[in-house]
Structure 1
Amino acid sequence: MNRPTALIADDEEGMREQLRTRLRDAWPALDIVAEAANGIEAVALAGQHQPDIVFLDIRMPGLSGIEAARLLFRRCHLVFVTAYDQYAIEAFEQGALDYLMKPVGGERLKTTCARLQQLVGRQPTDIQRQLQALLAQPGRPSAAPAAPDYLRWIQAVVGANLRMISTREVLYFQADEKYTRVQTGQSEVLIRKPLKELADELDPDEFWRIHRSTLVRVDAIEGITRDLRGRQMLKVRNHPLLLEVSRGHAGRFQQM
Structure 2
Amino acid sequence: MPSITALIAEDEPLLANALRQALQDCWPELGPPQLAANGDAALAQALAQLPDVLFLDIRMPGRSGLEVARDLADAWPEQRPFPLIVFVTAYDNYAVEAFEHAAVDYLLKPVNQARLTVTVQRLKQQLEQRAAAHPEQHLEQALAQLRRLAAIDAIQPQAAVDAPLEIIRAAVGNQVRLIPISEVIYFEATDKYVNVVTADGEALIRTSLRELIPQLDARQFWQVHRGTVVQIRHVQAAQRDEAGKISLILRNRPEKLAVSRLFAHLFRQM
Q: TM-score, normalised by structure 2?
A: 0.46
| Structure with the higher fraction of residues in helix conformation | 2
Length-normalised TM-score, structure 1? 0.48
**Which structure's CA Rg is the greater one?**
1
